[in-house]
Chains A and B, each alone.
Chain A
């Protein structure tokens, strides 16, 4: 579903992402892990077509993000780490705007909005302006907007931040369900326990370079993901201190 080949993105002289290559197959959930400033968000933005990159190639469903950006975006759902939505629109109008952009017909969008609003317990608040939403409600709305066009490939940057436990569980269930139906999920997180339990695959980035990537079992071996992560980062887990 996702194939990244030699992705490089520079800011001035600094290589935020340096020759990163990665593949995610259909049915896989891939966790993307790294310190703050490691290059996770830059790589994610490049995958979603939000950020232009200097070299390399990114393919989604076999289509090049560089050459066929619209086709790639049609397959993809993206939720950023801090969803700044249109504050001036009510929640329902924001969802309708996204549905219009993705060309979802009126009947189908109504069904999906109803379905996801019930799942995320946001129905009663849909008429309120986004400016009145809490961070968690904005996150839920962003997730609903991402799901409204039934994407095959979902890219989430820190999707669980701000969500209540029930909504977090819902998101994890949706991610698994999408993958079971032939989709794929690529998400970043700092919560290693979540990544360990949820992901089929894990990719660890450090200083813009991919330092570990593979099936969870292979990367983790006999250790925990946390131990592997700190070993790669060259730091103790704190347990030895």
Chain B
């Protein structure tokens, strides 16, 4: 890519934009970037988690001409979830373990590295991560790139020099805690959480000081009010009352090993002053070892970012029987629901329902299935509770419960965040069309080992296809269109002001589609299955590009281990519901950039 005088001018303009959002304003961290400035400074591009860009140079009329213009191997073979950042004239990429941070110079031909940062990360973390050694991305704020290391640390790296500014231990590997989530920075707080729902962790969220990395607050997601940072007067859950709700819905002190990990995404409403995030499954998977609602597992929690105070909480799946983590993104959108302008929160849950909530109060507005669902008949909007099918309840005494839909991979994987376009008023999401048989077994907590108690083979859901990419109207709870895919779909979504949406498939097709109809505009077979999230940006040459990671992995690495070729001592038979995936792809992390 050659620099012209025009593009140099644009570089300076972009750099000025970058500086304005950075440290020049004396500690005011990143403002939500404007919708068309061509940058991508946080995991979902904005605090609302919309994954929407105002760029429209690539649009539904010309996207047929998209083609790859640049690739780079990360040198890492695990699942490449997450997404790059573009700040000013630099692109930042975090790899799965060992969590290398690359900074690419977008002003030079071939995008050479400005620097790379290789942290010291314990290899013990590999075996403590339930579902591959993934990382869901970094956050830019205050001139720093902030991200998490798998072995339980958060680091801040100088965005210009690549020097480590601080490194804080936040999690305890020995207790089964790893960190895969993307942090969120609000003002001078870095909000982080831990994975480990398969190891019986006592799930938490922490707020760190942006300048020093010091832990300012720690809030448990389950347990007594004091641990959960519940103030006696300030906590207003819409469907519950009383004190110690997070401890009462458990036998004895089972909440101490009850899970509620935080491994997905956090969003933020600056007007309401609230952060929103979902909590994961209840531990162990054998639900009969923990009678009760098990609050606040499988829930959305709204907290004050400055001190962690819990303001409201809503549980999607009471007494989680099916490993239905609620760690998928909470997308904030202003919608017209039943004729009323509403500050909404929209969430596609693993349990197969798409929820539209009032984000000020947590009250349910709409809850409809977006995939085949049979564990519950519906969600009662008055009580907020699912109307359960008793025949799909699991637990040791139920033996093998057959044909539960969706499977514990979720109606959509929480690692595959949706996008929202304010132009089409539609949400875009990947889905899995999978059901499961569920056999719970008794399990005993042994610190640092899996606390699960389950065997759960999968089968294809109704229709025989295994996944899709769909458009959803969250104001009415209706599917608008759906592109069926041969394999479960595991990538995040992107949508732009050019009315183009983007996603990748598990067998490695990267697609641009018309955001209004779903019609495929272009597709290209990238080097490995896509489980990452596409982004778009304007490069210093003035042109719009789309970037995405290839690199199959995440749960799929475990369930279809025959896609791996890097360990001669560890051969796996193909998973029987997805026998052909290794025919089309194998592991391998690569960044792909597409342009016109």
Is B a genuine binding partner of A?
Answer: no
Q: Which residues of A contact B (CB under 8 A)?
A: none
Q: Which residues of B contact A (CB under 8 A)?
A: none
